[in-house]
Structure 1
Amino acid sequence: MNLPKKLAETAAIHQEKPAYLFMDKETSYAELNASVSMFASSLEKMGVQKGDHIALIVGNTPHYVIGLYGALRLGATVIPVNPIYTPDEMGYILNNGDVKLVITLDKLLPLFEKMEKALPKVETIVYCETGETVNEDAYPQIKTKMKPFTKCLGMGDPRYQGPELNEEDVAMILYTSGTTGKPKGAMLTHRNIYANASDVAQYLKYDKSDKVIAALPMFHVFCLTVALNGPLISGATVVIVPKFSPAEIFRLVETYKVTVFSGVPTMYNFLLQYENGKPEAFESLRVCISGGASMPVALLKGFEQKFNVMVSEGYGLSEASPVTAFNPLDRPRKPGSIGTDVMGIKNKVVNELGDEVAPGEVGELVVQGPNVMKGYYKMPEETEHTIREGWLYTGDLAKMDEEGYFYIVDRKKDLILVGGYNVYPREVEEVLYDHKDVIECAVFGVPDPERGEAVRAFVVSKNPELKEEDLQIFLGEHLAKYKLPSSIEFLEELPKNTTGKILRRALKQKVLQES
């Protein structure tokens, strides 16, 4: 089974049922499936063949859904790209990924006009009309490559079924954010992405009665699996949110009786802090899902108490399509834990030799299952280092308790060594979040001539009167002395990526540049 085939089957059963809701307008499964076939057929007419690489540089819109499933139905390999990337970031992915056709927003056409010579492999640019009519004459360098999305859709065949797809064919290449060096392209097969969407859908008990918010960026694998593919293969309705805002989330959930919300911890923080957020607006929610970063326990408990809805924290990474663990819905949930194995997937914690450690001991989290990537695109050495004897090495430090619940301690690369002692940034952050005046925080290590490394902290506070000494005293009551920050700096906001994940490394680079 694969995603486009499953969509066709679902559309045959639930023809008139809404597949998605966008800007308060519903689109049925029959309409979506026809559009997907038409777009796939159109791509073929434009010279795209099975196995060719297509970049999808679009935000949360129907263009994304139709473009994704249309390319997959044709058998092309899809490379989702963040629309706000710089020309250098975007150019690297398009060239490294051997992209033949780009689906992008009309507002990004000026960027492609400037980049034309830097993208020799791109033959066609399909632009999605989001505003006024595009004057193609304004783009002489790329005019012959440009084709409007609606025109492409109109020239397609709604009966088109596409070629036979092999489950081991590469369906997507997801470029990791690249904490060090250039981003790496994780190759996910049709089997990888379908298996994970199916396992997640079963684990979260998705069915046709569900309405699932897609507020996370669709180009991010968390949203792709949990809020788009999982719901669509289950006959649920996806509520597409172009841009996250607390006011809009409250409106949509209350108006359309949404049943599932998924987000990163920062989103939950915004919803909890939103002054006009009434608990009764979230009465229809049966579960909330958190991932992308570790959720502070204080935030989790505060959100659940205010809105009376359970937050199930999970874990995933691009290389695993992405989900490997979730807190179960039918058994006790443990705050601070990423939960237990998702069905069909095995997690374990190992030492430096690859041997499994005892419960309670910290080691590296490794993963095995049908969701694990084929490898990194054009990077065999990186693939060998990351996938060993069938296990994906995540780079995350974790521990498992006696009942099989896993806890992320921190990123292996983020571990701070203070005078030979291990300090995990998340442990310090958890204590900071327990302070009533702290909204957000980030902790990391910086070089220190005496102790090797020192702990630094940045905090966003709701109380302008809060001082560093107050927080140091508070931390000193809960942490050993070597874990205390050498300094705490207050900011109005912390840097985040497009999914809302706090960027420790951006703050660390800032500190290192200033020192």
Structure 2
Amino acid sequence: MDWIKSRACLFPRDRAVVDAATGREWTFEDVNSRAEKLAAYFHQHGIKKGDRVALLSPNDISYFDFLFACMKSGAIFVPVNWRLSGEEVLYILQDASPSLIGVHHSQTLSRRESKGCLVLPIPNDQYVEELNVPVQSTSQELSEDSPVAMIYTGGTTGKPKGAVLTYDSIRWNGLNTIVSWNLCKEDTTLTCLPMFHTGGLNALSIPVLMAGGTVVLSPSFEAEQAVNDLIRYHCTIALFVPTMYHMVIRTKTFQKATFESMKVFLSGGAPCPLSIYQAFHQKGLNFKEGYGLTEAGPNNFFIHPDEAVKKPGSVGRAMVFNDVKIVKENGEESSEGEVGELLLRGQHVFSFYWNNPQATQESLQDGWLHTGDLARQDQEGYVYIVGRKKEMIITGGENVYPLEVEHWIASLEGVNEVAIVGVPDEKWGEVVTAFVSLQPRSMLTEIDLRNHCALKLSRYKTPKTFQIIEDLPKTHVGKIDKKALRDHYASNNL
């Protein structure tokens, strides 16, 4: 069951993890030994199977230390979003009630936040070696449904929820990704996405390690540095969110680079503007889009880069070991081209929400995960994400899917980013509102944007209001924060 130990036994000297900031490297033997010692530390301090163990840290080797130590000890790993406010961190810690929390030297923890739990300082990457604890066999025999990690959702529509991932769900996400995406021990990925998020931890980092490849950790994202790291470490595959790609494709290094070792660039976390597809296609680089969520993997689809060129915006078809279904409001499956809610099924799906049985019951029904995302399927079975069910705008009785409008406005030269939201209106119920940021030196006006919409969009889909702002607000994982935009609109229109 302990696959990191097995990997260390089979290929002890293979490079597993690199810290891009310091250049320090760890082999699989190193990674396993660190986890064994940390697991022994947990045992020494009375941490039992099922106890929560939290970590407050930027991307760092400690994420693998804690996750694999929890796999060995039976504790539940809880990575905490260090970018949150003190009150938000406090909410998560009170909800998870960890017995121990590791705190990276770059982070601070108040007495309120640390109340009732043991604090393990992480002053440097040698903190495990410095623990005064004898390594002994403390491994717990885990069943397939034993909780191993609890990752909190973004909380953009309410309080964050702790999605509990079992040993089986993490393992099957890894195996499904390896088999479907053809990962191997020659692969190297750069992890810039925050590892307190499933995209940073489970999308590529764990599957690449499971396949025997190398994970290069970057503690933060800076576009020019990220491109340099991709080249320096001969990366073969990488995942960024669209906001990151917006910055990457504008760097001088990207424009000059050939990326000879890169097999494919992946986009996830949010629907990707077609302009980013075009930037990679023009350089002859493989680029494709994926889809996932904390509660499911997060990997669920595969599309070959050649098909991604023909079907931009599609996330592809279901991977080898999971099922996909799109259903209408009445529960019947949607027909070809018909929009419905996306449902997922597989052993990679989360087990339950911590302390929230009602939300669990709403999300998991008859073996299917109801994602809350809207999608459609073409005649060849390729899936396109249309948007969030909660973000669909109903104006004057007509349904408007924000992504369609966003893609069209983003195609206008001079537009940087765009977000479409529905705001309350007495007459129409909701009105379509556009928030647009422009590229440097762009002279576009609201009239230009409105005229562009008139070329393709129906009148009810055309935004009633255009707000040109300098930058669109982002969530802690780099997604455009539509809740903040609605709040901004409301506060400016009281």
TM-score interval, smaller chain = over 0.9
Q: 2: distance between equivalents of 1:189 and 1:250?
A: 34
Q: 1:446 to 1:325 in 2, by over 3 A?
A: same
Q: Which residue of 1 aligns with 2:468?
A: 490
Q: 2: distance between equivalents of 1:80 and 1:451?
A: 43
Residues 34, 129 of structure 2: 8 Å contact kept: no
Q: Which residue of 2 aligns with 1:129?
A: 123
Give 1:464 deviation, angstroms. Answer: 3.8
Residue from 18, 32, 45 that aligns with 1:21: 18
Q: Which residue of 2 aligns with 1:99?
A: 98
Q: Which residue of 2 aligns with 1:406?
A: 383
Residue from 475, 480, 503 that aligns with 2:453: 475
Residue identity opposite 2:174 in structure 1: A
Residue identity opposite 1:480 in structure 2: S
Number of corresponding residues: 489
Residue identity opposite 1:494 in structure 2: L
Q: 2: distance between equivalents of 1:406 and 1:78?
A: 33
Residues 440, 494 of structure 1: 8 Å contact kept: yes
Matches within 5 A, 1:49-448: 49-109=48-108, 111-113=109-111, 115=112, 120=115, 122-130=116-124, 150=127, 153-158=130-135, 160=137, 162-306=139-283, 308-328=284-304, 334-448=311-425
Deviations 1:29-71 (A, max 9, x none): 1111111111111111111111101112111111222122112
Residues 201, 226 of structure 1: 8 Å contact kept: no
Q: 1:156 to 1:311 in 2, by over 3 A?
A: farther
Q: 2: distance between equivalents of 1:237 and 1:434?
A: 36
SS at match of 2:165: strand
Q: 1: distance between equivalents of 2:126 and 2:212?
A: 26
Deviations 1:194-216 (A, max 9, x none): 10011112222111111111111
Deviations 1:335-363 (A, max 9, x none): 11111101111111001122212111111
Q: 2: distance between equivalents of 1:320 and 1:282?
A: 31
SS at match of 2:160: coil
Residue identity opposite 2:89 in structure 1: M
Aligned pair 1:499/2:493, yes or no? Answer: no
Residue identity opposite 2:289 in structure 1: E
SS at match of 1:428: helix
Give 1:328 deviation, angstroms. Answer: 3.3
Q: Which residue of 1 aligns with 2:6?
A: 9
Q: 2: distance between equivalents of 1:47 and 1:159?
A: 15
Give 1:157 deviation, angstroms. Answer: 4.3
Structure number having the greater helix percentage: 1
Residue identity opposite 1:466 in structure 2: L
Residues 67, 149 of structure 2: 8 Å contact kept: no
- What is the aligned-residue identity percentage? 34
Q: Which residue of 2 aligns with 1:138?
A: none
Q: 1:87 to 1:201 in 2, by over 3 A?
A: same
SS at match of 2:416: strand
Q: 2: distance between equivalents of 1:163 and 1:395?
A: 36
Q: 2: distance between equivalents of 1:273 and 1:40?
A: 44
Residues 376, 385 of structure 2: 8 Å contact kept: yes
Residue identity opposite 1:76 in structure 2: A
Q: 1: distance between equivalents of 2:126 and 2:232?
A: 31
Gaps of 5+ in 2: none
Moved more, 386-395 or 174-183: 174-183
Moved more, 66-75 or 265-274: 66-75
Give 1:304 deviation, angstroms. Answer: 2.7
Q: 2: distance between equivalents of 1:245 and 1:108?
A: 20
Residue identity opposite 1:469 in structure 2: I
Q: Which residue of 1 aligns with 2:490?
A: 512
Moved >4 Å (runs of 4+): 329-333
Q: What's the TM-score once normalised by structure 2's chain length?
A: 0.95
Residues 475, 484 of structure 1: 8 Å contact kept: yes
Residue identity opposite 1:490 in structure 2: I
Give 1:108 deviation, angstroms. Answer: 2.9
Q: 2: distance between equivalents of 1:323 and 1:362?
A: 21
Residues 365, 393 of structure 1: 8 Å contact kept: yes
Deviations 1:213-257 (A, max 9, x none): 111111110121122100111110101111111111221122221
Q: What's the TM-score once normalised by structure 1's chain length?
A: 0.91
Q: 2: distance between equivalents of 1:364 and 1:356?
A: 9
Residue identity opposite 2:298 in structure 1: P
Residue identity opposite 2:47 in structure 1: V
Q: 1: distance between equivalents of 2:340 and 2:436?
A: 29
Residues 55, 79 of structure 1: 8 Å contact kept: yes
Q: Which residue of 1 aligns with 2:426?
A: 449
Q: 1: distance between equivalents of 2:38 and 2:103?
A: 14
Q: 2: distance between equivalents of 1:201 and 1:153?
A: 35
RMSD between aligned residues = 1.8
Q: Which residue of 2 aligns with 1:134?
A: none
